[in-house]
Structure formats: C-alpha cells, structure tokens
C-alpha cells in the first residue's frame, strides 16, 4: 500500500533505506549516551552535539517522507503543479537540515579528540579543525537556505530573482566535506603511532580512530547522484538517488561518531562477544607518558608514549572496571595511577 496517491515504489524504497540508517544511528547514539551518562557517568560536549545531529537527522527523514508523499520518484509530467511545488519545498528544506546533521556529527568527533589528546600542539590543531568546520559549516547551511533570492524561486522558476549554481554549490560543498573527512582521519594518526603498545593493540586503537573513513566513502559515492540532480530537467524523478545518499551519509557520520563509545556497553552486556580478551588479572599495565616499555604478567608495566593523551578518559579505547583499572581495546588493563593526560 502506497504512502499517498502520488508516492512511487522508487520513493518508498528510498524511504525504507533512510529509515534503516536513521534508526541504526539513533540506536547507537542512545547506547553511546547511556554509556557516557550511566556507566562512565560523565557526559561531554561531544555527547550533546551528537544528540543535535540525531535530531536534525530525524528532521531530514520527516522531510524525506514529505518528498515521497508529494511524488519524488515520479516524472514531473505526471504530477499536478501544486504537488510539484510542495515536493520542491520539501527538497529545499532538506538540504540545510542534512548539512546541519552532517556538520554536527563531525563536530562531535572533533570534540571527542579534544578529550583524548592533551598536548598543546594537538589541541591547537584540533581547535583549528573545529574553527574550519564551523566556518565552512556556517556557509553550507546559510547558502542552502538562501540558495535562491527570493527563496521561493527555488520551487517557482517563474519568479524573478537569482539562484546560485546548484552544481557549483553542491560540488564545492562536497569537496570540502571530503577534505574535512580526510583531515579528521589523519589528525590523530601521528600521536597514535607514538604510543608504545603491542602492534595488535596499536592497530585496534588506530582502527577506532579511522571509522570516519566510512563517511568519506559515502560522500564520494554521493557525488554521482549529485551530478544527476544538478543537471536534471526532471528533478521530481531524478532526486531519489541524491536524497537517499544524503540520508545515508549523515547517518553514517553519526554511526561513526557513536560506535566507538558503545564498546563498553556491549562488552559489559554481552561479555561472550569478547571471549579472546584477557581477564583483568592477566595484565596490570600502568600508562605513563615518557616511561620505558616493560611488559610483564607478574607486575605493573609501563607503556611509553611521547605524546600526551587522555586515552584513559575516553571510553572507546579504554573502559572502566570495578577494580580501578582501565581496559584497553583488547581487554588488557591500564593502571589507574595517572598519566600526562591527567588522573583517572
């Protein structure tokens, strides 16, 4: 049964795909917030920002349904003018809503970095990234709302006025999104490479900080659909791909920002999912910046790093245990006697 008399199977399929990713992003964010609020008992700025991102993602989803209800996926020649107008109004509103959700998801990742990396140089670099993200994010959102002047020209081309080039605007914004994705992935790697951890542990930690690569992939995949809609003479029919990839992109960003923070919850709720991890008394590692490596099962060992981090405060690579230690991603322990990044 269709959503409305104007909806199409193409549009309804796109809604289903969007619903899956939006729901998954919401569930993982809920687990992340529960972990931070109830297990770690410390909500951070990044946690509040990701909630804003999820709220705008649901706003995008609501407008997505509106587009499909008003015939997205159908040829414009088969739709009455007032239905086309309503669909284009929804289309116009989805763009800044999508941008806001995506920008805030990336901001959440960067504010997580501020919790983790404590040296002056790393924090300055992170603040520079946040400043860049804020500047271009403001531009993408404002330019989306004011793509045409007057605004109504976006859905009624008979109105006199001026519109920015859709292809120029959308592709330049996507290009900057790709650039920021790359910077977000690269930023923590030099510091993580200096962590004197066993190779397996180091790879696991670096993998957690590389999840943004999935956002980069979806942004690149979205480019083809943008080309189609930017050159389209039949936007009611051709917008399905771009709308679907936009929904996937912003929700994948939310998932990547939230997924690392769910591991403490999953490990606690489903311990059998990690059967290969050592138990707490197998290792007793003390994490101290500037100390020398000395791994031992019989007593505390020091993990050397020449860069200050707060990994002991970030629940995704380290987890609290009731024994006063922190658990690394592979299940070994980091002693809670402090580090350059601050006490536990």
- CATH code, 32: 1.20.1070.10
Instruction: Give the confidence band of 259 by pLDDT, cuts at 50, 70, 90.
Output: confident
For tokens 């696991």, the residue is: 204
Task: Work out how many domains the chain is built from and give that number.
Answer: 1
Provide the pLDDT for residue 209. Answer: 81
Confirm whether 91 is domain-assigned.
yes
Tens of pLDDT, residues 285-324? 333 334 444 444 444 333 333 344 444 444 444 433 343 3
Instruction: Give the confidence band of 273 by pLDDT, cuts at 50, 70, 90.
Output: low
Instruction: Give the confidence band of 3 by pLDDT, cuts at 50, 70, 90.
Output: low
Confirm whether 73 is domain-assigned.
yes
Confirm whether 64 is domain-assigned.
yes
What's the whole-number mean pLDDT along residues 106-134? 94
Confirm whether 313 is domain-assigned.
no
What's the whole-number mean pLDDT along residues 204-231? 88
- Domain containing 35 equals 9-267
Confirm whether 3 is domain-assigned.
no
Provide the pLDDT for residue 63. Answer: 97
- pLDDT beyond 50 at 325: no
Tens of pLDDT, residues 43-95? 999 999 999 999 999 999 999 999 999 999 999 999 999 999 999 999 999 99
Does 184 or 307 have the greater pLDDT score? Answer: 184
Task: Pick the range with the lowest mean pLDDT from 73-77, 167-171, 263-267.
Answer: 263-267
Confirm whether 20 is domain-assigned.
yes
When the pLDDT of each residue in the chain is averaged and rounded to a whole number, the result is: 81
For tokens 């957690």, the residue is: 208
Confirm whether 178 is domain-assigned.
yes
Confirm whether 309 is domain-assigned.
no
């Amino acid at each position: 049964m269709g959503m409305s008399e104007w909806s199409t199977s193409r549009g309804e399929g796109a809604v289903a795909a969007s619903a899956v990713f939006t729901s998954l992003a919401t569930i993982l964010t809920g687990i992340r917030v529960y972990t931070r609020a109830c297990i770690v008992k410390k909500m951070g700025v990044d946690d509040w920002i990701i909630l804003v991102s999820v709220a705008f993602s649901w706003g995008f989803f609501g407008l997505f349904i509106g587009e499909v209800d008003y015939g997205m996926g159908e040829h414009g020649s088969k739709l009455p003018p007032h239905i086309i107008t309503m669909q284009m109004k929804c289309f116009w509103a989805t763009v800044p809503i999508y941008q806001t959700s995506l920008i805030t998801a990336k901001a959440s990742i960067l504010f997580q970095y501020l919790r983790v990396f404590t040296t002056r140089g790393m924090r300055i670099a992170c603040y520079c990234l946040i400043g860049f993200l804020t500047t271009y994010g403001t531009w993408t959102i404002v330019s989306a709302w004011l793509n045409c002047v007057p605004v109504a020209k976006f859905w009624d081309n008979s109105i006199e006025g001026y519109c920015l080039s859709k292809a120029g605007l959308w592709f330049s914004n996507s290009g900057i999104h790709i650039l920021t994705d790359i910077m977000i992935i690269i930023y923590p790697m030099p510091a993580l490479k200096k962590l004197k951890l066993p190779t397996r542990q180091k790879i696991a930690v670096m993998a957690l900080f590389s999840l943004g690569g999935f956002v980069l992939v979806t942004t690149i995949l979205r480019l083809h659909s943008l080309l189609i809609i930017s050159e389209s003479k039949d936007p009611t029919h051709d917008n399905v791909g771009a709308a679907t990839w936009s929904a996937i992109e912003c929700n994948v960003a939310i998932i990547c920002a939230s997924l690392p923070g769910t591991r403490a919850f999953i490990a606690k709720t489903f311990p059998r999912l990690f059967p290969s991890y050592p138990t707490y008394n197998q290792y007793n590692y003390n994490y101290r910046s500037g100390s020398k490596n000395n791994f031992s099962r019989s007593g505390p060992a020091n993990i050397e790093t020449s860069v200050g981090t707060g990994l002991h405060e970030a629940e995704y690579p380290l987890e609290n245990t009731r024994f006063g230690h922190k658990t690394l991603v592979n299940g070994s322990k980091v002693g809670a006697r402090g580090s350059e990044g601050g006490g536990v």
